């Protein structure tokens, strides 16, 4: 393929840099005079540094931003900076950020395309972009960080209308909690996150579980670097994760790592071409151990989790006890008084191991959730296996209400609740 002409890009970039240098001392809110058609991560970073606080970096529709897999990611440096496509399109015309090899080497260790978790990065906006992590070309990376990282000490950031895929590390989008758990109020909304991670047959049971119990410490406290990739991971307290679509990731669709006071609602999680560990998972985070009661519980409501043509091992899970049986009571509790309300779990040609598995929680309310399962003809009676529990829990006192279960293709089916 012939090289992309860069004359217009070079002129536009020079103009943007010159105007930034001249105006940086007198203005806090800067808007570029034009949009970028093509650039590298190094050039984008230079613009962000030169413009400083409030810089709005606008990319042209169909723009291509190349991020060298041997270099740094796009790195935000100051409050209220933003990166978006001109006109805020929501279709294929959005600008694309891509991690790729730009020289003779085909690998590289970079797994993060956008780093926006610095101590000064409050009030950032990342909007209306495509982000390609390059996993198909570069492969996954053991211990790799998330593709888009926000949160951190500052918080109050927004990621909206981003289409992201191919993460090489443990998650596609991650909202970090900060060094002392100071992050608050990240918004992850109306994004599409898909096609990330490998789901090898029975790999979790045979290899990963053994490593978790006997192997080296997990990278940055994350349990599944490398092979399993989560869709959206959130540790920042009082965050909002809403109206996102998470499709075909091998780890957890939405992983809530502590994040007390957060709201998870109106999201759709679908497994089509690879098995998924969990649709939505709530686990403890020791950073918030002393602040959980004040910050409040997590609300998971009105989400859709669908095993379309692949397995989801657990639809909604709380606590590490859903995956292991050797945890001590109280050591890994999710935020007190969390709620799981009015979620819908469905399966057609795919299936669940457990629809809901609960552990390590106090004051948990599970109410008005619906499970709709359609089994293939090969599993109809008399060939059907014995009924398996649809809900499994090992909890301190909690309230479990009105769990509705439909099995339209199986006569004589029954709901089984297993207490462990």
99: in domain: yes
Structure tokens at 300: 């998971």
CATH number of the domain residue 351 falls in: 2.160.20
The rounded distance, in Å, linking the Cα atoms of 57 and 21 is: 15
Rounded to whole angstroms, the Cα distance separating 336 from 322 reads: 17
According to the model, what pLDDT value does residue 105 have? 63
Residue written as token pair 């910050």: 295
**pTM of the shown model:** 0.81
> Looking at the domain assignment, is residue 151 inside a domain?
yes
Question: Which element (helix H / strand E) includes 335?
Answer: none
Domain presence at residue 392: yes
Residue 188, in any domain of the structure:
yes
Answer yes or no: is 371 within a domain.
yes
Three-class SS state of 162: strand
Dihedral sign from CA coordinates of 13, 191, 171, 248: negative
In a domain, 234, yes or no: yes
pLDDT at 5: 37
Residue 48 lies in a domain: no
- Tally of structural domains, the chain: 1
Kindly write down the DSSP assignment for every residue of 48-101, as one continuous string: HHHH-TT-EEEEEEEEEEEEETTS--EE--STT-EEEETT---STTSEEEEEE-
**Per-residue tokens: 167:** 């993460």
Question: By C-alpha distance, which of 250, 287, 84 is closest to 175?
Answer: 287
Q: Nearest to residue 73, comparing CAs of 147, 161, 6, 170?
A: 147
Residue 65 has a pLDDT of 97
The number of C-alpha atoms within 13 Å of 184 and in the hemisphere containing its C-beta is 5
**Does 23 fall in a domain?**
no
- Whether the Cβ atoms of residue 314 and residue 352 lie closer than 8 Å to each other: yes
Show the domain range for 128: 53-419
Look at the alpha carbons of 93, 125, 225, 393 in this order and tell me if their dihedral is positive or negative. negative
Q: Report how far apart, in Å, the C-alpha atoms of 287 and of each of 42, 60, 107 are.
A: 33, 40, 34
Residues of the chain with pLDDT under 70: 1-33, 104-106, 200-226, 290-293, 324-331, 350, 374-420
Instruction: Give the Cα separation of 400 and 369 in Å (integer).
Output: 10
């Amino acid at each position: 393929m012939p090289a992309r002409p860069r004359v217009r890009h070079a002129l536009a970039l020079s103009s943007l840099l010159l105007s930034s240098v001249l105006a940086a001392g007198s203005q806090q809110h800067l808007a570029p005079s034009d949009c970028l058609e093509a650039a590298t991560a190094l050039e984008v970073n230079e613009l962000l540094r030169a413009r400083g606080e409030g810089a709005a970096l606008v990319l042209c529709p169909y723009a291509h931003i190349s991020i060298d897999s041997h270099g740094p990611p796009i790195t935000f440096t100051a409050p209220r900076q933003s990166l978006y496509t001109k006109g805020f399109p929501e279709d294929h015309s959005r600008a694309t950020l891509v991690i790729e090899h730009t020289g003779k080497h085909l690998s590289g260790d970079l797994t993060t395309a956008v780093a926006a978790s610095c101590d000064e990065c409050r009030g950032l906006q990342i909007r209306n972009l495509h982000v390609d992590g390059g996993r198909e070309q570069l492969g996954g990376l053991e211990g790799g960080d998330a593709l888009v990282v926000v949160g951190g000490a500052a918080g109050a950031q927004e990621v909206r209308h981003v289409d992201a895929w191919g993460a090489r590390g443990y998650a596609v989008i991650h909202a970090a909690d900060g060094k002392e758990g100071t992050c608050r109020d990240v918004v992850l909304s109306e994004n599409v996150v898909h096609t990330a991670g490998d789901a090898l047959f029975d790999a979790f049971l045979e290899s990963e579980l053994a490593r978790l119990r006997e192997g080296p410490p997990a990278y940055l406290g994350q349990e599944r670097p490398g092979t399993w990739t989560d869709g959206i991971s959130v540790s920042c307290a009082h965050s909002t994760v809403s109206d996102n679509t998470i499709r075909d990731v091998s780890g957890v669709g939405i992983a809530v790592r502590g994040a007390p006071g957060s709201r998870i609602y109106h999201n759709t999680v679908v497994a089509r071409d690879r098995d998924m560990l969990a649709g939505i998972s709530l686990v403890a985070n020791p950073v918030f151990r002393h602040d959980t009661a004040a910050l409040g519980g997590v609300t998971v409501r009105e989400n859709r989790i669908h095993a379309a043509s692949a397995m989801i091992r657990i639809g909604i899970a709380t606590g590490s006890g859903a995956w292991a049986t050797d945890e001590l009571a109280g050591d890994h509790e999710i935020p007190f008084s969390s709620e799981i309300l009015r979620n819908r779990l469905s399966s057609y040609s795919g299936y669940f191991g457990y629809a809901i598995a609960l552990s390590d929680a106090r004051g948990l309310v599970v109410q008005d959730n619906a499970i709709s399962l359609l089994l293939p003809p090969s599993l109809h009676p008399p060939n059907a296996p014995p009924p398996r529990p649809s809900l499994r829990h090992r909890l301190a006192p909690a309230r479990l209400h009105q769990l509705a279960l439909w099995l339209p293709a199986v006569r004589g089916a029954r709901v089984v609740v297993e207490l462990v």
